[in-house]
Structure 1
C-alpha cells in the first residue's frame, strides 16, 4: 500500500487531542515533507526517522514521502510523533503488516540508533486513549506513569525493532503489569519544630480548611520549616485528585510514579518570572501554581518577588484555575493550590527582634512592605508573626505533637466539611457561607466589632467567617461561637505596625 494511517496524540494544556499521522508514498524526487502545523522539533523528525530506519536495517523508500499530521489547524510540538511517523513509513512501504494499526496509538521520540526516548504527557495520552478504546505503545520509561490510568493496555517498547516485530507478528509486545503503588507518602514531621505553639496551631487551622497563610518574622525562626510541614497535615488525595495532579506533573516530565498520591510542594525562587509562576510559552505549559495543584505553593521572601508576579496570583487564588492565552492557542490549567508565604518584617530582617537592633529606616520598611498590595494581602486568610525562640526554649522545649496526631484531627474536620457542604471551607462562595457558617449571637456581635475596629473588607469578613468555621470544625461544633470567632480574628491581624521601641 502507498498510504498508512497511524493514531497518536498531541498536547493542548491538560488535554491530549487525537492526531492522525497520514503517510503517503508517491513517485517523484526522493524526499520527505511534513505538513499539518508542525513546530521545529516535529520538523526535525525527518532526519531522526530516516537515520533510525536505516540503522535498524529497514529500507527507506526511494520515493516522495508526505507526512500529514491531521487535523491541520492543531499545533504539534515535541518529538512524540517520531515513532508513529516511522511506523507509518514502514506500513506504507509494506515492510510491516498494517491490518491491526487502527487498534493502537503510538508515541515516542527516536534516537538515531532506533532507541525510544520518553515523552511528556504520557498520563494525559493514556487517559484519552482509554476513552477511545485503543492500546497505547510507549517508550518503556513512560509505562509506569501511563499505567496509572485504569482500563487501558500499555505496551512498553525499548526500540523501533520491537514495535516492528510486534506488528509483523514475530514477537508481541508484553503489556505492562507493574506492581501497584502502595504505602503512605513520606512528609517531614511536625514534631521536628521546636516551640512555636501558636504557629503550629495556625498551621493546623490552615490545613483543616485549606486556607492560605502568611508567616512573618526574623530570619531563622522556622517559617520555612513550618511551611514544609503543611503537605503532611493535609488529608490523603482521592484517586481522581491524585490522577489530576500527576497529569499536570506529566506535562513537564517531572512526575515520578513512586510519588503518586503525594501532595506536591513547590517552592520557586524569588527571581521567578510571571510565566514561570502562572504558565506560558508559545505552546502554553503549566507554571508553578498549576504544578502545585492539590498541594502547597510556598513563596519564601515574598516581598523580593517582582510585584507583577505577585499580582498575577490574585485571580488564581480566587478561582482555582488559570487561563493562559497566546497567539497560537488559549489553554486553561487547574490551579487549586494552598498558598503559603513567608517574609521578614523589614529588609534587614530584625525589626522587633529582642536582642538584635534593626538598621532599617522607617521609609525602607514602608517601601519593603509596600511591595505587597492590599488586594493580594486581602486574599491571604491567615497571618501570624513567628517569634524568635529563647535559648531555654530551643534546648528544653518539649517535643510537640507529631504530624500523624495533628493530621487525624485535620482529617476529621475535612470529613465534617465534605459531609456538610461537599468542599473545603476555603472554597465556599458568599452564598454558601450564609448557609453553612451559622454563628450564635455573641459570635455575630464580636464579628461586628472586628469589622468596625479593623476596617475589614467584605472579602476579609467572609474569610474570617470561613476561618471561624474551620476552627469550629476542629472542635466538632455545629455552630460558630464567640471563642471560634476570637481565634479567627487574631489570624487576620495582618503585619505588625512599623513602630520600634
Structure 2
C-alpha cells in the first residue's frame, strides 16, 4: 500500500514542501531515497524503536520511502514523525483519516516522545503559501508556528497521542500569545550612567536613525556599559520584525520552551576571536551567522582593532545591503542582516592617547599601525565616530539623577514614526538606509547649511559617502527635534560625529 505525508526542508531561512511517499510491498529490504543526509538515514532505527514501544511493528517486507523532490537535499531528524506515520499507514496497521492534509514534522526518541525541531516558523510560512492549513509539530515548536494567521497548529508530545489525534480525538489548535502587548523590562538602564551626555546623545541619534556608531576612548570610560544599555532605548518590535527575527533564531535552534518567540531586540556581543563563518554564516547547508542573529537588533564589537582584519572586511557588504549572500556549490542563499553596528576601541595600544591625565606610552608608529587595523572603507561605512573620555571624580559621584531609558525610548519611537511615514512607499525603514537619490530629494539644505557642510568636507577631507552620511544624520537630528527641515544647527551637530577620521586620531 502507498501512503503520503508532507514535511518540509529548509533552504537558508526559507522552507520547501517535501512529499514523503511510503510504499510497502513484496520483498525484504528498506530503501530511503530522495537525497537524504546521514541523519535522515538513521531515522529508520529511531522509527523502528518508537513504533515498537507503542505496540506496532516495523514491517519485514520491502519498504520504499521517497522524499520528493529529489533534487533538494534533506537534513535533520525532523522527518522521523512523518516517516513513522506514513509507515504505519502504508503497512495497514492503522488507518488515519486525512493524513495527507497536514504538514508534519518532529524528531522521535526511542520511546516515541516527540522532540523539537529547527525552522518551524519558516515551515509554517511556506505551508500557508502552498495552501496547507494544518500542521502537526512538537509542542515546543507550536507557539512560534502559531504566529502565522490562518493556520491550525497542533502541538504533539508523543507518537501515541499523534495517532490518536489522527484517529479523530478532539484537540484545540495552539493559539499564539498577544505578543504586541508584552511589557518589556530591562535591568540595564541609562539612568545608571553618570555624565557622558555627549555620548548618550550620540547613541540616541544612532538608534533613532539606524546609524552605525564607533566609540573611541580609554579603558574605564564606559564604552561597553553604554553599549549594553542600547536595547533599552530601542523602539518595540512590530509583528513583522518579530516574525523575521524569530524565523532566524528558529533555524539555528536558538529558541527555547521558556522563550519560543523573540520579542526583544537582539543584542549580540562578539569576542574578537570569532571566525568568518561564525560571523556571516556557513556550513554545507548554510546557516545564519552572528550578523543575521543580530537582525533588527544590535551587533556589538568591543576592542574592534583586535578582530582579524579579513573578518572585519566581511562586514562591508552587509552594512551597505542589509543582507548577506552565501554561495555554495548547489546555489546561493541570502540571510537578512539589518542590524545596528555599535563598536568600541581604545585610541592606541596602551589606551591612553588623548587621555586628559594619564600619559600615552605608545610610539607614533605604534598608534598608526594600531589604527590601520581598521580599513578606511570599513571606517567610512560607520556613520558616527565619537571620542569618549573618562569621568572626573565630581562627575562620577554627582547627586543629579541621569535620564532613564523610557523617555529616551519615547523620543526615539517618535523619530522612527516620522521615518515610517516618510518611507511608507519604499522598503526602507530608517534614515540610514536611504540611497543617494533619496538623500538628494529628502535631505535638502539651505544656503548657510550647504556652505557649512562644504567647509567641513574640505577641511576634514571626507569622502562622498561621508557627505551622505552627515546628511542622513542631520535628517535624524531634525526628526528628533520634530523639525520638517534640516537647519544649520542640525548639520553642525552631525559634523561633530565625523571628526574622528584617521587623520584626526593620529594628530
Q: Which runs of structure 2 are paired with 1:359-398 in the superposition (5 Å)?
A: 359-396=361-398, 398=400
Counterpart residue number, 2:82:
84
| CA distance in 1: counterparts of 2:183 and 2:202, whole angstroms | 25
State whether structure 2 residue 473 is matched by structure 1 residue 467: yes
Counterpart residue number, 1:274:
276
Counterpart residue number, 1:185:
184
SS of the aligned residue for 1:360 comes to: coil
Counterpart residue number, 1:21:
20
Q: 1:414, CA displacement in angstroms?
A: 1.5
Q: Which runs of structure 2 are paired with 1:39-438 in the superposition (5 Å)?
A: 39-131=37-129, 132-169=131-168, 171-177=169-175, 179-181=177-179, 182-187=181-186, 188-256=188-256, 257=259, 260-396=262-398, 398-422=400-424, 423-438=429-444
SS of the aligned residue for 2:359 comes to: coil
| CA distance in 2: counterparts of 1:44 and 1:349, whole angstroms | 55
Q: 1:353, CA displacement in angstroms?
A: 2.5
Unaligned runs of 5+ in 1: none
Q: Deviations over 1:150-198 (max 9, x none)?
A: 22111111111111112223x3444223643432222331111111000
| CA distance in 2: counterparts of 1:363 and 1:54, whole angstroms | 73
Q: 1:363, CA displacement in angstroms?
A: 2.4
| CA distance in 2: counterparts of 1:482 and 1:178, whole angstroms | 49
| CA distance in 1: counterparts of 2:473 and 2:307, whole angstroms | 27
Q: Deviations over 1:257-291 (max 9, x none)?
A: 46533111111211111111111110001111111
Aligned length: 497
| CA distance in 2: counterparts of 1:314 and 1:19, whole angstroms | 36
SS of the aligned residue for 1:16 comes to: strand
Q: Deviations over 1:431-480 (max 9, x none)?
A: 01111111111100001101111111111100011111111111112221
Q: 1:141, CA displacement in angstroms?
A: 1.1
Task: Report if aligned partners of 1:208, 1:413 keep a CA contact under 8 Å in 2.
Answer: yes
| CA distance in 1: counterparts of 2:239 and 2:467, whole angstroms | 34
Task: Report if aligned partners of 1:322, 1:333 keep a CA contact under 8 Å in 2.
Answer: yes
| CA distance in 1: counterparts of 2:214 and 2:177, whole angstroms | 41
Q: Deviations over 1:188-237 (max 9, x none)?
A: 31111111000000011111111000011111211112112222222222
SS of the aligned residue for 2:124 comes to: helix
Change (3 A) 1:100 1:259: closer
Counterpart residue number, 1:10:
9
Q: 1:360, CA displacement in angstroms?
A: 2.6
| CA distance in 1: counterparts of 2:493 and 2:328, whole angstroms | 45
| CA distance in 1: counterparts of 2:140 and 2:220, whole angstroms | 41
Task: Report if aligned partners of 1:365, 1:498 keep a CA contact under 8 Å in 2.
Answer: no
| CA distance in 2: counterparts of 1:116 and 1:278, whole angstroms | 32
Task: Report if aligned partners of 1:440, 1:479 keep a CA contact under 8 Å in 2.
Answer: no
Structural RMSD (CA): 1.6
Task: Report if aligned partners of 1:237, 1:263 keep a CA contact under 8 Å in 2.
Answer: yes
| CA distance in 2: counterparts of 1:162 and 1:306, whole angstroms | 52
Change (3 A) 1:359 1:259: farther
| CA distance in 1: counterparts of 2:501 and 2:219, whole angstroms | 16
SS of the aligned residue for 1:80 comes to: coil
Unaligned runs of 5+ in 2: none
Q: 1:397, CA displacement in angstroms?
A: 5.4
| CA distance in 2: counterparts of 1:281 and 1:186, whole angstroms | 36
| CA distance in 1: counterparts of 2:133 and 2:91, whole angstroms | 24
| CA distance in 1: counterparts of 2:362 and 2:117, whole angstroms | 51
| CA distance in 2: counterparts of 1:405 and 1:179, whole angstroms | 27
Task: Report if aligned partners of 2:449, 2:487 keep a CA contact under 8 Å in 1.
Answer: yes
| CA distance in 2: counterparts of 1:60 and 1:112, whole angstroms | 13
Of the structure 1 ranges 227-236 and 355-364, higher mean CA displacement relative to structure 2 is found in 355-364
| CA distance in 1: counterparts of 2:459 and 2:148, whole angstroms | 53
Scaled by the length of structure 1, the TM-score of the pair is 0.96
